[in-house]
Amino acid sequence: MEPTLLYARLVGAQLRGQMQYKVSFLLALLGSFLGCVTEFGAVLVLFSRIPLLAGWSLAEVALLYGMSGICFAVAELFAAALDNFQVHIVQGTFDRVLVRPRGALFQVISEDFALRRVGRIGQAVLVMLLAVRLLSIDWTLEKGVLLAVALVSGAVIYFAIFVLGATFCFWTVQAKEATHVFTYGGDGLASYPLDIYRGSVRRFFTFVVPLAFVSYEPALYLLGRQDPLGLPDSGRLFSPVAALIVATLARYGWQLVVGAPHSAHECEPHVLIHVERLEKTFRVAEQRSGLFGAMRSLVYPRYRLVRAVRDVSFAIGRGEMVGCVGPNGAGKSTTIKMLTGILVPSAGHVEVLGMVPHQRRKKVAQRIGVVFGQRTQLWWDLPLIDSLELLRYVYRVPAARFLHNMGRLRDLLDLDSFLRMPVRQLSLGQRMRGDLAAALLHDPEIVYLDEPTIGLDVVAKHRVRDFLREMNRIHGVTVLLTTHDMADVEQLCSRLLIIDHGTLLYDGTVDGIRDRLGTERTLVVDLAEDVSGPLFVGCAREVRADGPRRWLQFNRLEATAAELIAEVAASYPLHDLTIEEPDIETIVRRIYEEGLSPLEAKREATL
């Protein structure tokens, strides 16, 4: 019952979003109805020229049309999101589905409840009722039950085909076109008697893709006709069996690509994240140049292997705040996706909260929070408070705990001023604060932050950093932060992971890398009076001059700041001076450019 109520809430939220565009919705509803009327108009035109179609009258074809139309429209009502599933894959928005503690298919189908298809259902029902009225069917209870069961079974068959089509999107984003052959094309095929097709076609759509059991076989039984394929009368009642077979195939196909749940022992470790020799390799298609090359690639595809993550090992303890940096394509996001269970490692071992993430995805998702800086998990057309209330049910947060957490988050993130605004109207900083509230609403033990301050202004960055610091200090939340903004790392994290080309180059403290590689310090000198030419100091060199202000760079391993100051003061009259420590961003950039031996960078401290 609880999943059904959640589905109703999610669909209700989605419908409220649709109602934000009332004119568009009404036009889509009307267009759906009129489009189907036009389709049936083609049938009427056909029968204005011929009395029978392969021995079937207009009323009998109308029965097939109505039954198939009802089944397909009902299936599309629930499966509209699956029809555009390749968008999730291309844009990467499927990630937000996988980091929630609910079934992936359950969440996807609740994202687009195609109420506009009600117009198609209404038109198909009218056609079927008119056909039943015109036909001389000897109705019995058995035939009435058969019709109802056939309609439900047909809807299940179409829905299962939509699911199978979505699974193929993981291999090719062009699967939509192939799926349409059996969904929209199947609806057209099942709207006419299979007698008009060759025997091989009839057998294919009876025994391979069982669209014959949507309308054709049940209609034969209702009309008392013989089956051209020789199926017995009992065989024509196999619509539920065909639906069960196709639904089972769809279920296992979906679990094959998304991952089936595994049972495993859970423990409460002190080390919350343990990664050992982790690797991830992707097989990437290579496109040949030119038109001929593109056509050749369709027949003889060529692939190359890309090692996104190579032999990465680290451990993160409870309450740590760890920064993970690296250039674009370094493997940071791939590592995070393996830690959340979105991706399955090619080799190595990973445990989060004592569980293997891809085997216990929903269990792990219940205890973690994830923020993708460029992809929101909020409902776009709904007020922020509605999104947070929906996530309360997704994460099964009790009412009292939800109210307590909301009060705390509203204060820390200052949400009240935009809590009732639609998400689409929020500024980038406001939306990020909303996403942080969504990620921490259920008291997660670990929070993964992927570029949480990207695109934010200075004030918004400061507010986000203060909030994360407070959550870690008061509630002991473990934070793993990936970023290109080194200020995030310096202000929030005591520990730093540097990844480049999929390899862990450094794992240690922020101060540690500064001590190791940031040997160059700068003494900024304000002279009492300007002097001509550069300053000559034995242990330093002048790197910049602006009138009486001079910048002297020196190696802290060769001389101390006190020694340099004494030498400068002995030679030149001073007005003021400051010491500039090496910039962590400069040090990390140097590592990217010059490299750092992973063996040298192994962390000496153990948890």
Q: Beta strands of 102-158 (E only): which ranges?
A: none
Confidence bin at 264 (pLDDT 50/70/90): very low
Mean pLDDT of 593-604: 51
Per-residue pLDDT for 518 more than 70? no
- What is the pLDDT confidence band of residue 583, given thresholds at 50, 70 and 90? low
What is the DSSP secondary-structure string of 427-441?
A: -HHHHHHHHHHHHHT
| Pairwise CA distance, residues 301 & 275, whole Å | 34
Distance CA 29, CA 23 (A): 10
Identify the band that residue 261 occupies on the pLDDT scale cut at 50, 70 and 90: low
Across the chain, what does the average pLDDT equal? 83
Tokens of residue 321, six digits: 């705040």
- pLDDT at site 607: 38
d(Cα 508, Cα 543) in Å, to the nearest integer?
30
Q: How confident is the model at residue 339 (pLDDT cuts 50, 70, 90)?
A: very high
pLDDT digit string, tens, across residues 133-148 = 999 888 889 889 999 9
Query: What pLDDT score does 584 carry?
Result: 67
- Domain residue ranges in the chain: 2-258, 272-511, 519-581
* Most confidently predicted of 238-247, 253-262, 544-553: 238-247
| SS3 of 294-313 | HHHHHHCCEEEEEEEEEEEE
Q: Which residue has the higher pLDDT, 557 or 223?
A: 223
SS3 of 165-218? HHHHCCCCCCHHHHHHHHCHHHHHHHCCCHHHCCHHHHHHHHHHCCHHHCCHHH
CB 273 within 8 A of CB 480: yes
Q: Which residue has the higher pLDDT, 479 or 580?
A: 479
Residue 602: per-residue pLDDT:
46
Residues 427-453: tens digit of each pLDDT: 888 898 899 999 999 999 999 998 888
More confident residue, 22 or 346: 346
- Each residue's pLDDT tens digit, 537-549: 878 888 888 888 8
Mean pLDDT of 211-215: 92
Average pLDDT of the segment spanning 246-264: 78
> Which residue bears the tokens 């034995």?
538
Do the Cβ atoms of 605 and 507 come closer than 8 Å?
no
Is-contact 239 153, C-beta < 8 A?
Answer: yes
**Amino acid 402: pLDDT:** 92
Question: What was the pLDDT predicted at 596?
Answer: 59
Specify the pLDDT at position 213.
Answer: 92
Q: At residue 107, does pLDDT exceed 60? A: yes
Instruction: Give residue 599's pLDDT.
Output: 38
Quote the CA–CA distance of 444 and 409 in Å, as a whole number.
14
Band of residue 531 on the pLDDT scale cut at 50, 70, 90 = confident
Q: What's the mean pLDDT in 233-248?
A: 85
Q: What is the pLDDT of residues 298-328, one digit of tens each?
A: 777 788 888 889 999 999 999 899 999 888 8
Q: Could you tell me the end-to-end alpha-carbon distance of the chain, in angstroms, rounded to an integer?
A: 44
CATH 1.25.40.10 correct for 272-511: no
pLDDT at 603: 44
- pLDDT at position 230: 76
268, pLDDT greater than 60: no
Q: How confident is the model at residue 95 (pLDDT cuts 50, 70, 90)?
A: confident
pLDDT at 557 (0 to 100): 74
In the chain, % of residues over pLDDT 70: 91
Angstrom distances, CA of residue 386 to CA of 12, 344, 369, 414, 435: 11, 33, 19, 17, 13
Which two three-digit tokens encode residue 215? 């309308």
Percent of the chain exceeding pLDDT 90 equals 26
Q: In sequence order, what are the residues at sequence separation of 6 or more whose Cβ sits closer than 8 angstroms to the Cβ of residue 506?
A: 496, 497, 498, 513, 591, 596, 601
pLDDT reported for residue 81: 83
Are 77 and 112 in contact by the 8 Å Cβ rule? The answer is no
Any idea of the CA torsion for 231, 232, 235, 237, to the nearest 10 degrees? Answer: 120
584 vs 77: which has the higher pLDDT:
77
pLDDT (0 to 100) of residue 26: 78
Q: Which two tokens stand for residue 256?
A: 């094959």
The mean pLDDT of 112-122, rounded to a whole number, is: 77
pLDDT in tens, 186-200: 888 999 999 888 888
SS3 sequence of 214-263: CCHHHHHHHHCCCCCCCCCHHHHHCHHHHHHHHHHHHHHHHHHHHCCCCC
pLDDT in tens, 392-439: 999 999 999 999 999 988 888 889 999 999 998 988 888 988 999 999
pLDDT given at position 592: 67
Question: 78 versus 17: which is more confidently predicted?
Answer: 78
* Nearest-angstrom CA–CA distance, 552 and 540: 6
8 A C-beta contact, residue 195 and residue 228: yes
Q: Judge contact between 266 and 242, C-beta under 8 A.
A: no
CB 46 within 8 A of CB 196: no
CA distance 213 to 233: 13
What is the rounded average pLDDT of the residues 94-115? 82
For the cut 70, the answer to whether the pLDDT of residue 463 exceeds it is yes
500 or 31: whose pLDDT is higher?
500
User: What is the per-residue pLDDT across 32-68, written as a single tens digit (0 to 9) for each?
Assistant: 777 777 778 888 888 888 899 988 999 999 999 999 9
Find out if CATH 3.40.50 is the number for domain 519-581: no
Instruction: Note the pLDDT of residue 235.
Output: 66
